Amino acid sequence: MQNNRENLDGIISALLKPLLFASKDNFVRMDAVKNLERHAARLSAEALLLNPEDGKAKRFAAIGEGFAGFDALSFHEKKDKVLSAIEALESLSLPPRKSVPAVTAAEALSRLGSLKKPLEFVKGIGPALGARLKKKGLATVEDILY
């Protein structure tokens, strides 16, 4: 089951890459993407062979069918097809988002303050190495980072 999921994720990724490339910078690279019709049909068929759950199977079939005759379409029709395919693929592959804990102002100030910490007080550096680093213009953690 896990291997099947990984294979589907790989197919989704392989479908998304040229679509996202084509859509960059307001679709200026649309003509650079060749054989999108054949690529989408082949990968959609591969996904269907993996027997995805029913809702996903319908989406993969729709993506494959949606690119039929793609090469003969006008620029605006191609753009619409690419956008709808990207939306469908992202809905198939989006993992649940991890919530990022909010950082309070006090905690942010504390973190920024730790950048001003003298190097001699950083674990593993000590006063002797701290003095040598200071001669080279590296006195704080911030200096090392920059």
Q: How far apart are CA 92 and CA 62, in angstroms?
A: 13
Q: Which helix (H) or strand (E) holds 133?
A: helix 126-135
Average pLDDT across the chain, whole number: 86
> pLDDT tens digit string along 117-133?
999 988 899 899 989 99
> pLDDT tens digit string along 25-54?
888 888 888 888 999 999 999 988 888 887
Q: On the CB side of 32, how many CA atoms lie within 13 Å of its CA? A: 12
Structure tokens at 88: 């469908």
Beta bridge partners of 118: 140
Widest CA span in the chain: 72
pLDDT surpassing 60 at residue 112:
yes
Helix, coil or strand: residue 140: strand
Query: What type of residue sits at position 79?
Result: K
Structure tokens at 70: 């793609």
Q: How far apart are CA 41 and CA 66, in angstroms?
A: 9
Structure tokens at 12: 């989704």
* pTM beyond cutoff 0.85: no
Structure tokens at 126: 């000590």
